[in-house]
Structure 1
Amino acid sequence: MLSNSQIPEPQPDIYSLNCNGRLIQLDVPKIMGILNLTPDSFSDGGKFNNEKSALRQAEKLLSEGAEIIDIGPQSTRPNAEYLSSKEEINRIGNIIHLIKKEFPEALISLDTFYAETVKFGFNEGIDLINDISGGQYDAEMFDTAAQTKLPYILMHVNPSYETMHDKIRFEDITLEVNRYFSQKTKELLEKGVNDIILDPGFGFGKTVEDQMKMIDEVEYLGFGRFPLLIGISRKSFIYKPLGKSPLDINEETQKLHMKVLEQGAKIVRVHDVAQAKETVTRFLQRK
């Protein structure tokens, strides 16, 4: 158990992020739309891996209510193809630049665990870093994040790429995730990364039972010091127990989105933006 001296002070319910000089308020929950540039993502692989289709999908995500576009050059599903940073950069090509040119108000998040890919993305104009590895798969990541001064999304995950999806049953998943967040946020703050977003890591190395427990205990994750991002879209802990496909669980997913929003989640990372927008609207009407 963490001692009182180790537990960060809770912050006010309204957070802000400095995204390349733009101050983004999180008083209203934001929708992050997923743009996979991969041929092998589990539910939309190969659909948006060229400039024309990626731009078209970015436009769709934004028109449906996304404020952040999360660009993923590498799939992190189980048994996915492993890419180097150079291969990620080649896959991204001009897509970040083109989206920023076409949709200058859009915020772009880059989903990578490589510092070199972050450097490339920063030069192309990204606004946030989304690192599923928590700095564990590239020793240069935290320093690079500090150099860019961009908001950094810190996800809870197993400590190596090879063990990323190994199922671990924790004695208390909420306590384990908070221990991890406490240690990692301390490292990030010491390096000068001030805008940190916490992602509990749904779909990565956790049992169905532990993930449902995290849903129930979202309000306790991160001690209320940093904004929470929840990424449960098309995740197997929802569809497998129901005997459904990833594309057939929208109703169940939106119920869970409502549950986490009611507990203070500030960003939801989704494939189905229009449906998530309806959920956020209903949530705001209830407040």
Structure 2
Amino acid sequence: MGILNLTPDSFSDGGKFNNEKSALKHAEKLISEGASIIDIGPQSTRPNAEFLTSEEEIKRLGNIISLLKKEFPETLISLDTFYAATVKFGFNEGIDIVNDISGGQFDEKMFDAVAETKLPYILMHVNSSYEKMHEKVSFEDITLSVNQYFSKKTDELLKKGIKDIILDPGFGFGKTVEDQMKMIDEVEFFDFGNFPLLIGISRKSFIYKPLGKSVLDINQETQKLHMKVLQQGAKILRVHDVAEAKKTIDDYLIN
């Protein structure tokens, strides 16, 4: 899954892709490097980012989804949003997957919107509100806590008829470095394999800050962690650097 940020304040790509021409060009690059899913994000969810309403997200998305579907019909388009209205807009434009960082907690209409569209849904573990999503929480057992959350939320989704669920443990959201490294070590235990697992560790601070490196200087370390989670059954890698991740996946499949 290649990341296409449409945000002017994105922490790692500086908002380079927030107009139609540059977005299409970057999507083409991601696909040529091996991305089979493009994850479009109209809103930054980094700490202290600008907060957008659904109306502002939709305005920022404009025609980009339909243009991507026309230009790259074989590529799946995932929409990164926590708003039900943005999901409905994206569905009408042709998205294939809903990627909701909020687990339905930031918009009470989200699960109903997903059920209505019948789209696959990425369920991420996160704190209970937008304001608290980056607050560091002290977990007695991070893997157990994430699994309890997954169990509760997947039960809600299944009751609404949403069966195509992908799980994201939520690296980078309200978790300590120690807990995130524990999560890496215990990927195989998340939800005990009941649903496919997506791992999004690309350019996350729990990797580069302890090393004293910059966000763009941790490719080697990131690929080692990617290999580790693949070996434990991860099915999707959400990444900025598609070519490097594709090589890691190919090496994993060969071995």
Fold equivalence (TM over 0.5): yes
State which of 220, 238, 248 in structure 2 corresponds to 1:251: 220
AA in 2 matched with 1:120? F
AA in 1 matched with 2:81? T
Deviations 1:238-275 (A, max 9, x none): 00000011100000000000000000000000000000
Report the equivalent of 1:167: 136
Would you say the 8 A contact 1:36–1:45 is kept in 2? no
1:51 aligns with 2:20: yes
- Report which structure shows greater RCO (CA 8 Å, sep ≥6): 1
State which of 56, 78, 85 in structure 2 corresponds to 1:109: 78
Report the equivalent of 1:231: 200
State which of 60, 76, 95 in structure 2 corresponds to 1:126: 95
Aligned equivalents of 1:148, 1:46: Cα separation in 2: 29
Report the equivalent of 2:124: 155
1:278 aligns with 2:218: no
Name structure 2 gaps, 5 residues minimum: none
3-state SS of paired residue (1:74): coil
Deviations 1:41-79 (A, max 9, x none): 100122000000000000000000000000000000000
3-state SS of paired residue (1:101): helix
Report the equivalent of 1:9: none
Report the equivalent of 1:265: 234
AA in 1 matched with 2:197? L
State which of 77, 82, 88 in structure 1 corresponds to 2:46: 77
AA in 1 matched with 2:171? F
Q: CA deviation at 1:237?
A: 0.2
Would you say the 8 A contact 1:165–1:205 is kept in 2? yes
Aligned equivalents of 1:46, 1:252: Cα separation in 2: 25
TM norm structure 1: 0.89
Aligned equivalents of 2:246, 2:15: Cα separation in 1: 25
Total equivalences in the alignment: 255
Aligned equivalents of 1:268, 1:46: Cα separation in 2: 22
Report the equivalent of 1:214: 183
State which of 201, 204, 217 in structure 1 corresponds to 2:173: 204
RMSD, aligned CA:
0.4
1:98 aligns with 2:98: no
1:36 aligns with 2:36: no
Name structure 1 gaps, 5 residues minimum: 1-31
Would you say the 8 A contact 1:203–1:236 is kept in 2? yes
3-state SS of paired residue (2:238): strand
The within-5 A match list for 1:5-20 is none
Deviations 1:129-172 (A, max 9, x none): 00000000000000110111110000000000000000012000
4+ runs of 1 displaced by more than 4 Å?
A: none
